[in-house]
Amino acid sequence: MSFLSSRLLLGNEHRLLGLMMVTLIAALAFIDDINISRSLFITHFGFFLLWQPIYKKETQFSMVNLVSLITLISAFIIWLNIWLTPIWLLLLLSLLTGRIFSRGLERVAYGIAIIVIFLQLILVTTPDLFSLYSFTEPVRTSINLILIIMLLPLFFMPADTGHPSNVDFIRGFLIVLLTLFMCMGAVIVTTTTNSPYIQSLATTIFLAAIFLFAAAVLWSPRGGFSGLAQLWERYLLNIGGPFEQWISHLSSLEANSTLEPDYFN
């Protein structure tokens, strides 16, 4: 990407994010027409490569990275189906939530994108994946239009032209697990109770909210209870514990330069 300057890409980061999200929603809306969907996905991946937060914008792609990216994108486009799209949505959700703890307008921009992907997953993609038709076609079209309208503020938000922030993959992974829990929980409740998908989704979200509230209460010390946070820290810092033994084992492996690959078989 040497033909595009770092300042140009960073200055239009939110617009690139908006274009990437709009083409993604459009590609998913036309998933029944595979040719149109593939064309939109190619455009989506183009904007994704310009926006992507993994490699620094000022760093040129090596030939190995470029070939790997083109191979993965080509494989996705060729074998495009309804089962591949949720995987890509979850990967995008992980990247976006890894940067949600930024400050200012950048946090707002990524928050909007996360909400759009989350709604796309739980309202459209998951019911289609398991043939749980919860909305009529006009309602689905209205949902897609609402999601696109929600993305419009991204085109008017100024971006920070400083150094790109890092991606926190651990937090992104935890958010993805929570999203999977809600999607799969709604599917399980629907199939086992024969209740409408929206009702099952509301029940699952309510249960997840109770769990998160209980975890937040137990995490901090109160009422003589030291809290789960301190218990976790004590477990990690406990001398002779499983965590320390694992770290010591890794250190010994790293220090032993005579180990051969056959040792791990």
Q: For 129-176, how does the pLDDT look when each residue is reduced to its tens digit (9 = 90+)? A: 988 877 888 888 999 999 999 999 999 888 765 555 566 777 788 889
Q: How much is the pLDDT for 65?
A: 72
Question: Is pLDDT at 232 greater than 50 in this prediction?
Answer: yes
Question: pTM of the prediction?
Answer: 0.78
Instruction: Say how far apart CA 234 and CA 237 lie, in whole Å.
Output: 5
Q: Is 76:88 a contact under the CB 8 Å cutoff?
A: yes
Q: How large is the average pLDDT for residues 192-219?
A: 88
pLDDT band at 210 (very low <50, low <70, confident <90, very high): very high
Q: Please name the residues in contact with 104: beta carbons below 8 A apart, sequence gap of 6 or more.
A: 160
Q: How large is the average pLDDT for residues 81-92?
A: 92
Q: Please name the residues in contact with 74: beta carbons below 8 A apart, sequence gap of 6 or more.
A: none
Dihedral class, residue 60 (left if φ above 0, else alpha if ψ from -120 to 50, else beta): beta
Q: How large is the average pLDDT for residues 91-104?
A: 80
Among 180, 204, 179, 178, which residue's Cα sits nearest to residue 191? 204
Q: Is 192:178 a contact under the CB 8 Å cutoff?
A: no
Helix axes 169-193, 84-97, angle to 10 degrees: 140
Instruction: Say how far apart CA 151 and CA 80 lie, in whole Å.
Output: 25
186 class by beta-carbon count within 10 Å (0-12 exposed, 13-18 middle, 19+ buried): buried
Q: How much is the pLDDT for 163?
A: 52
Q: How much is the pLDDT for 1?
A: 43
* Least confident stretch, 133-147, 191-205, 217-231: 217-231
Helix axes 137-151, 13-29, angle to 10 degrees: 170
Instruction: Say how far apart CA 250 and CA 60 lie, in whole Å.
Output: 34
Q: How large is the average pLDDT for residues 39-59?
A: 77
Q: How much is the pLDDT for 58?
A: 44
Q: Is 45:78 a contact under the CB 8 Å cutoff?
A: no
**Phi, psi (deg, nearest 5) at residue 47:** -65, -35
Tell me which of 67 and 254 has the higher pLDDT: 67
Question: Is pLDDT at 102 greater than 80 in this prediction?
Answer: no
pLDDT band at 36 (very low <50, low <70, confident <90, very high): very high
Q: How much is the pLDDT for 125?
A: 93
Q: How much is the pLDDT for 97?
A: 86
Cα 41 from chain centre: 17
* Least confident stretch, 16-30, 79-93, 157-171, 230-244: 230-244
Among 113, 119, 107, 138, which residue's Cα sits nearest to residue 48? 113
